[in-house]
Amino acid sequence: MAHTVGIVSLGCSKNQIDGEQMLARLEAAGWTVKDDAALCDVAIVNTCGFIQAAKQESIEEILELAKLKAEGQIQAIVVTGCLSERYREEIRRELPEANAVVGIGANAEIVKVCEDVLAGGHPEIFPPKECLPLNGPRHLLTPSYFAYVKIAEGCKNRCAYCAIPLIRGAYRSRPIEEIEDEARTLIQNGAKELVLVAQDTTRYGEDLYKAHELPRLLKRLCALDGDFYIRVLYCYPDFLTEELLDTMASEPKILKYLDLPLQHCSGRILRAMHRWGDRGKLEALLSHVREKVPGVTLRTTLMVGFPGETEEDFEELCEFAKRVRFDHMGCFAYSAEEGTEAAALPDQIDEDVKSHRVEVLMEQQMALEQAAGEALVGKTVRVLVEGWDRWAECWFARAASQAPDDIDGKVYFHVPKDAKRRPVLGQFAEVEIADCLDGDLVGTYQESGAQGGC
């Protein structure tokens, strides 16, 4: 009888892709992959170590699985991912419940690691970060109708607050042909949306081709056959070239959606962060983006509470966000991470102050998003159908303006009783918007836009 394995994958989509590759290796070796790690012989915890809250979530998951191991429900726990890469000694010392603690460079050896723990071993393997596989089969953890595609690994931006370069190493782009082959397979298997990710997608190709080649990659992907679209996440303002904007504007398969994690608008704070720009430059850039890519959805992530951020800096950030009117925005409090330059800076901000600033900024943003949603009432939008909500007794989907994993909300819709064609999971449909509730859109299914179904 085959041994069973499951994974708890935490943190970002890039980490999830690593988990999908590990599961595919185990599957190829004869293991049975289950959706629930708590019901398996071996539970893998693919940890996140980005900020304090993510680290705490990883630790709590390990401890929950440790209870199940003590009860005999699972046999072994394997800890991998960013937290184990960064805090290997601490995990081995503080979490003896883990049967194996391995680094990201050991992902290619996951079959041997899982076999060893079932045999009573306690492997601790930490190869160089560059040994992390960038290519290979994947056991998708997303529904078949969309998938993340990692186009590069690592980072070289060296932002003062960020530990990613310490954890993930230098920037490494995947060859265009390799990405193209993976995308073709995903589309042939039913993917309607490909979400391109990297720590910084705009740097794609600079190591491999000595040039920023995201536009060329996008054009190659757009040439693939099929009814699908492409979403690009994590673009940095530094390398937002005219060629990239022209490509987004001209290629119908590229969603007019731009994710720009700006972090702040104060020139003084951005310089301390080792980030590009100031308020004037950022406002000019965003205005230019909207002019070059009509109808573009703009999303950003902002950070409050960076060391030395004054009330005046925070008020300027609020004014900036209100003036720009981002379509979607996330906000998080600065977290002092060991080994980063910012952790040693003076004038660290009190945690209560940081939390209050997050709350104020997000309340302002939610009001803006509510108003934008209400402006869509009466309009028809194309959506990707994702499922049925049995509590609300309606379908839910995402529009082009909404990224997956509940980042930007959803579109909820009802189907008229006399409709002859029904929505199909993982297919496109059209919905007439009737309302906006807390940022989520609500509407009615338009049968004329249905694709398939009975």
Mean pLDDT value of segment 76-101: 93
Are residue 154 and residue 113 in the same domain, yes or no? no
The two tokens of residue 415 are: 């189907």
- pLDDT of amino acid 454: 25
Spatial contact of 164 and 234, defined as CB atoms under 8 Å apart:
no
Give the pLDDT mean for 63-79: 96
What are the structure tokens assigned to 368, written together?
């803006």
* Domain annotation covers residue 136: no
Instruction: Flag whether pLDDT at 451 surpasses 70.
Output: no
Boundary of a domain, candidates 372, 402, 423: 372
Residue 322 in any domain: the answer is yes
3-state SS assignment for residue 119: coil
Please compute the mean of the pLDDT values over residues 130-146 and round it to a whole number: 95
Residues 257 and 179 reside in one and the same domain = yes
- CB burial class (10 A; 0-12, 13-18, 19+) of residue 8? buried
Together in a domain, 236 and 315: yes
CATH, residue 37? 3.40.50.12160
439 three-state secondary structure? coil
Residue 141 within any structural domain of the chain: no
The model's confidence at residue 450, banded by pLDDT at 50, 70 and 90, is low
Has residue 454 been placed in a domain?
no
Residue 290 has pLDDT above 80, yes or no: yes
Q: Is the domain of 331 the same as that of 203?
A: yes
Q: Are 383 and 429 in contact (CB under 8 A)?
A: yes
Residue-level pLDDT at 53: 82
What are 195's two structure tokens?
A: 């979400």
pLDDT for res 452: 40
- Domain match, 355 and 289 both: yes
> What pTM value is reported for the model?
0.94
Q: For residue 449, name the pLDDT band (cuts at 50, 70, 90).
A: low
Q: Read off the pLDDT of each residue in 333-356 and give the average, rounded to a whole number.
A: 96
Ranges 1-15, 318-332, 387-401, 440-454: which has the least confidence:
440-454
Q: What amino acid is encoded at 349 in this protein? A: I
Q: Is residue 223 part of a domain?
A: yes
> Do 227 and 318 lie in a common domain?
yes
| Confidence bin at 92 (pLDDT 50/70/90) | confident
Q: 345, 372, 399: which is the final residue of a domain?
A: 372
Expressed as residue numbers, the domain containing 442 is: 380-449
* 96 touches 63 (CB < 8 A): no
Q: How many contiguous H segments (helices) and E segments (strands) does the chain have?
A: 13, 19
Q: What is the pLDDT averaged over residues 152-179?
A: 95
Flag whether 30 is in a domain: yes
- Residue 347 CA to residue 169 CA, distance in Å, equals 29
Whether 70 maps to a domain, the answer reads: yes
139 inside domain: no
Are residues 296 and 172 part of one domain? yes
Contact 59, 144 (CB under 8 A): no
| E strand or H helix that includes residue 47 | strand 42-47
pLDDT-above-70 percentage for the chain: 98
Q: What is the mean pLDDT of residues 372-393?
A: 95
Verify that 186 and 240 share a domain, yes or no: yes
Residue 108's pLDDT band, with cuts at 50, 70 and 90, is: very high
User: Are 318 and 424 in the same domain?
Assistant: no
Residue 1: per-residue pLDDT: 67
Query: H-helix or E-strand containing 289?
Result: helix 279-292
DSSP 8-class letter at 174: P
Alpha helix segments (H runs only) across 375-399: none
CATH of the domain at 292: 3.80.30.20
Q: Say how many domains are in the chain.
A: 3
Q: Please report, for the domain that includes residue 428, its CATH number.
A: 2.40.50.140
CB neighbour burial string for 142-167, b if at least 16 within 10 angstroms, e if fewer: bbebbbbbbbbbbbebebbbbbbbbb
The label of the residue with tokens 């028809």 reads 380
Q: How far apart are CA 27 and CA 35, in angstroms?
A: 13
Query: What distance in Å separates the CA atoms of residue 237 and residue 281, rounded to the nearest whole number?
Result: 10
- Convert 337-371 to b/e letters by CB count within 10 Å (16 or more is b): beebebbeeeebbeeeebeebbebbbebbeebbee
Q: Do 253 and 333 belong together in one domain?
A: yes
Looking at every residue in the chain, the average pLDDT score rounds to 95
300-304, 372-376, 424-428, 448-452: segment of lowest average pLDDT = 448-452
* 24, 200, 386, 440 from 336: Cα distances, Å: 36, 21, 37, 33
Alpha carbons 19 and 10: distance in angstroms, whole number: 9
Question: Cα dist. 301→79, 148, 246, 249 in Å?
Answer: 29, 20, 24, 23
Span 142-159, average pLDDT = 95
Q: How is residue 350 annotated by DSSP?
A: P
How many angstroms separate the CA atoms of 117 and 95, rounded?
15
- Is the same domain home to 115 and 175? no
188 to 5, 219, 302, 425: CA distances (angstroms): 27, 18, 37, 16
Confidence of residue 406 (pLDDT cuts 50, 70, 90): confident
**Total residues found in the chain within this entry:** 454
Amino acid at position 437, single letter? L
pLDDT over 50 at 453, yes or no: no
On whether both 71 and 35 belong to a single domain, the answer is yes
Distance CA 48, CA 66 (A): 18
Q: Domain boundary residue among 73, 108, 131?
A: 131
User: Is the backbone of residue 154 left (phi > 0), alpha (psi -120 to 50) or beta?
Assistant: left
